[in-house]
Amino acid sequence: MKKILPFLFLAFSLCSTAQVISSSKWTDLFSYNNVLAIREDSGKLIAATENGIFFYTPASGELKKLSKANGLHEVKISAFDYNPETKIGLVGYKNGSMDVITPDGITYIVDIPIATGYSGDKKINHISITGNLAVISVGYGVSVFKLDRKEFADSSFFLNGGIYEAAKEAVIKDNFVYAVTATGLKSHEMNVTFPIYSTWTTVATGSFSQIATGSVVAYASGTAVKFGDGNTFTSLPGSFSNIQDVVVTSQNIIVADNTTVSVFTTSGTFVKSYDAGEQLNTGFYSNSQVYAGSKVSGMKNEAGDLLKPDGPYNNTSYKIDLRGSQIVISTGGRDAYNDAIIRNFGYYHFDGTKWIYPDLFRNTSVPYNVLDAVINPSKPSEIFFTNYTGYDGSKGIYRMDNDQFAKIYANLGGAYNRVVGLTFDENNQLFVSQWSANGTSGQIGFYHYIPASDQFGQVSSTSAGLVQKPFVKDGIIFIPAPFFSSGGLLIYDYKNTPSSTSDDRFKILRKGNNLPADGVVSAIIDKNDDIWIGTRIGLRIISNPSAILTEDNPQASPIIIEENGLGEELFRDSHILQIEVDAGNQKWISIDDGGVFYLSSNGEQTLKHFTKANSPLPNDNVTDIKVDNVTGKVYFVTLDGVMVYQGDVLNVSENFGDVLVYPNPVVYSKFKGNVSIRGLAEKTNIRITDAAGNLVHQAVSRGGYYEWNLNNHRGVRVASGIYFVLMTNADGTDKATAKIAVVN
């Protein structure tokens, strides 16, 4: 698979537009804080981070980035190198795959992940480029890769006594490969016996972790660096405590220790050092300036400036909340048994102009497992979050003001009494779902915020195991309960008065209500007042929440679709992770290990299906989905980061919005997909004619947008020319027109 480079990949001096997986419709919300490697090309610095690469021009301060959203094929970068002479870069990933970046495009290499001869860890530990060759260090040993032909040459499996010895790093110098391992510095000429590990020479014994080459070879243990010509080595002066990386250029040796970058000449003379004051991965020296590659702050120069694209503190993400231009991302998690997964990242907050990481979560001993965080719509400076742990004194509901700690609530003792998700209703009343209400295992309920007293009231309702994030509509709160044998969907009518429970009523839907399983993982109400319910083994729909509360035995229904001429239940036996509804009543549904499906309003037609393989999604487990109906953007949250898709559906009403046709003109040599028309009414009658007024296509659109495949009513592509789109809404009270230019 090959991709042409995006225009922003300026470090490799190419301007291209054609894409395969990525496109202009995708952007990332990745963190660029964890800098793994820094290289240089013509005055531009290239920094490889966990989920992408960014380019910094010191002369102008310009920053550009490259990720899976606009060119790369994977996330979780583990190694990177670049040759400024050939303009070729090589990216290695934790799964063993690689991206070869050349001035002609990006090529995806999957030889190592699919190889069957080695079943151990296939993470790319290190990459070093010399000319048109790169040496790749992996858990099995080393492989030589031909960059110009994009294919592997020889590999040497470091197999000694039936045990693989991992090559931590390796370089090529004067037709020899030098590799550092836990038992020593090994070398071998690239000849016919190269693949035979027993013919390799041990140059130096000891446990070594880093090696680099340029005009010299330098290798390091944790506390010392030696450099030389490959045969004779001399120790660098000075002392080191915990060496993280060694880089060699044509003139310098750069050593990144715990927090300090030290620069030496290639003859071993000390030049200068810079203490960045934080944990480092790497360092670089360019134009008499030291640059430090931080683990948590991006790239730093000697002035202490943080040089990186703005983004969240970390890529680990779980839930997201949108409020106007603000975004808050929570990072917690639970395992299959709903035990807390303490990740300690807290939440990341975009305040409309910049990303903020609260001091509360920095350098703390408090176990933070933030399952959810939401912005107060009536006071946007306030964020409430839940800390789902079993630790007394730290679990509960937290209130933050301007990202500073304000107060903790519902901080009850014992292993139970855990709060999970938060939501605001139409009246800006805050609700929090609770597991084991009143300290009783298996009892669920919710808290509601009382602003006048700055306290939370509690409502305990029924027996069910565990809870998910709630949602509210028309005075009814819905709480999914995911436990295998005693879960369901709690529907609780609080009559818009959560503090008064005398007239409340509730019902919980379970298997007896035709759900495929008691464990309800996700649910939502669409614009038809239908509840879409996602369980561990399927999907159901039930209508009219108010009526459900008074029925003796309400029954949910599956969606039946036609598959190969036979009726088939939609998502049968699938674990539904999340369901979201857009402004046109279409549904976004994520499936465990199945990516995201975009369905028509009734679910009978799949409009799109995004997976890790065919889109920039970081992985196939999307834990949250949010649609911004103002911009049409769809936010996909995964544990490996957040990806944003520019959808076609904005706020939809009975009348037309700003009608937009794209691409326009449609030039077949550049674009072979469908033409999209957005800004339509909820129901739109569409007639498309040629310049002479002849009808070539007609349709009815529902949901605010339409795609035309440029075929006429006979199924034949229309000729080159100008076509007119004539549109009316459902009752003919509003009209719109557009023109489409077609060039075949």
User: Across-strand partners of 587?
Assistant: 581, 599
Burial of 95 (0-12, 13-18, 19+ CB in 10 A): middle
pLDDT band at 441 (very low <50, low <70, confident <90, very high): low
Mean pLDDT value of segment 21-42? 92
Considering the four listed CATH numbers 3.40.50.300, 2.60.40.1930, 1.10.287.130, 1.10.357.10, the one that applies to the domain covering 660-743 is 2.60.40.1930
- Selected from 3.40.50.360, 2.40.240.10, 2.102.10.10, 2.130.10.10, the CATH number assigned to the domain covering 319-646 reads 2.130.10.10
HSE-up of 466 (CA within 13 Å, CB side)? 20
In the sheet where 151-157 sits, what is the strand order?
126-130, 133-138, 141-146, 151-157
Within 8 A by CB and 6+ apart from 475, the residues are 425, 493, 494, 495, 496
Averaged pLDDT, 712-737: 95
Phi/psi at 373 (nearest 5 deg)?
-145, 135
Question: Would you state the structure tokens that stand for residue 569, as one six-digit string?
Answer: 């239940």
Measured in whole angstroms, how far is the alpha carbon of residue 657 from the centre of its chain?
31
Identify which of 421, 265, 387, 309 has the alpha carbon closest to the alpha carbon of residue 62.
309
Element of type H or E holding 111: helix 111-114
What are the beta bridge partners of residue 55? 46, 64
* Contacts (Cβ under 8 Å, ≥6 apart) of 530: 541, 542, 543
Look at residue 257 and give its three-state secondary structure. coil
Smallest CA-to-CA distance from 2 within 89, 114, 101 is with 101
pLDDT higher than threshold 60 for residue 731: yes
C-alpha–C-alpha distance, residues 570 and 397, integer Å:
37
For residues 403 and 381, give the distance between their C-alpha atoms in angstroms, rounded to a whole number.
8
Which tokens is 304 given?
Answer: 């202490």
Helices in 417-521 by DSSP H: which ranges? none
- Could you tell me if 182 and 207 are in contact, meaning their C-beta atoms sit under 8 angstroms apart? yes
- Are 121 and 114 in contact by the 8 Å Cβ rule? The answer is no
Quick one: pLDDT at residue 21? Answer: 66
| Mean of pLDDT values over 133-159 | 96
Q: Find the mean pLDDT for residues 498-520.
A: 92
Beta carbons of 4 and 12 less than 8 angstroms apart: no
Domain ranges of the chain: 2-307, 319-646, 660-743
Residue 147 φ/ψ, nearest 5 degrees:
-70, -40
Closest CA to 684 of 666, 705, 669: 705
Q: CA–CA separation, 421 vs 6, rounded Å?
A: 39
At the topology level, CATH places domain 2-307 in: Methylamine Dehydrogenase; Chain H (2.130.10)
pLDDT at 357 over 70: yes
Written as six digits, the tokens of 578 are: 């999340």
- 206-247 pLDDT, tens per residue? 999 999 999 999 999 999 999 999 999 999 998 999 999 999
Task: Judge contact between 341 and 335, C-beta under 8 A.
Answer: yes
Nearest to 295 by CA among 484, 482, 47: 47
**pLDDT score of 287:** 95
Count of helices and strands (H, E) across the chain: 2, 68
Residue 337: per-residue pLDDT = 66
Residue percentage of the chain with pLDDT more than 90: 82
pLDDT, average across residues 450-478: 90
Each residue's pLDDT tens digit, 543-563: 999 999 999 999 999 999 987
**pLDDT on residue 116:** 84
Dump pLDDT digits (tens) for 72-108. 999 999 999 999 999 999 999 999 999 999 988 999 9
Evaluate if residue 18 carries a pLDDT over 50: no
Closest by CA to 283, choosing from 48, 34, 37, 50, is: 37
Which structure tokens are listed for 355?
A: 């990303």
Closest by CA position to 136, among listed 158, 118, 152 = 152
Q: What is the 3-state secondary structure (H, E, C) of 547-591?
A: HHCCCCCCCCECCEEEECCEEEECCCCCCEEEEEECCCCCEEEEE
Q: What is the pLDDT of residues 98-120, one digit of tens each?
A: 999 998 899 999 999 988 889 89
Mean pLDDT in the chain? 92
User: How many CB atoms within 10 Å of residue 441?
Assistant: 12
Q: 688 and 698 in contact (C-beta within 8 Å)?
A: yes
Distance CA 572, CA 576 (A): 10
What's 116's DSSP letter? S
Residue-wise pLDDT tens digits, 371-418: 999 999 999 999 999 999 888 788 999 999 999 999 999 776 666 678
What is the tens place of the pLDDT at every residue in 119-132?
899 999 999 999 99
Question: Which pLDDT score is estimated for 440?
Answer: 60
- Within 13 Å, how many C-alpha atoms sit on residue 352's CB side? 7
What is the dihedral sign for C-alpha 58, 63, 67, 70?
A: negative
E-assigned strands of 326-429?
Answer: 326-330, 347-350, 355-356, 370-375, 382-387, 396-401, 404-409, 418-424
Give the model's pLDDT for residue 439. 58
Q: Give the range among 2-11, 348-357, 406-415, 648-657 with minimum mean pLDDT.
A: 2-11
Given a contact cutoff of 8 angstroms between Cβ atoms, the answer to whether 276 and 268 are in contact is: no
In this predicted structure, the answer to whether residue 265 has a pLDDT above a threshold of 50 is: yes
CA 587 to chain CA centroid, Å, is: 20
Which pLDDT score, from 0 to 100, does residue 247 have? 98
Beta bridge partners of 386: 372, 397
Residue 3 has pLDDT above 80, yes or no: no
2-307 and 319-646 have identical folds: yes
Rg over CA atoms, the chain: 29
Q: What is the pLDDT of residue 483?
A: 84
Cβ neighbours around 151 below 10 Å, total: 10
Strands 735-743 and 666-667: parallel
Residues 450-456, mean pLDDT to the nearest whole number: 95
At 672, the pLDDT band (50, 70, 90 cuts) reads confident
Who contacts 656 (Cβ-Cβ below 8 Å, separation ≥6)? 679, 680, 681, 684, 727, 729, 734, 735, 736
Read off the pLDDT band of 17 (50, 70, 90). Answer: very low
Q: How far apart are CA 97 and CA 81, in angstroms?
A: 15
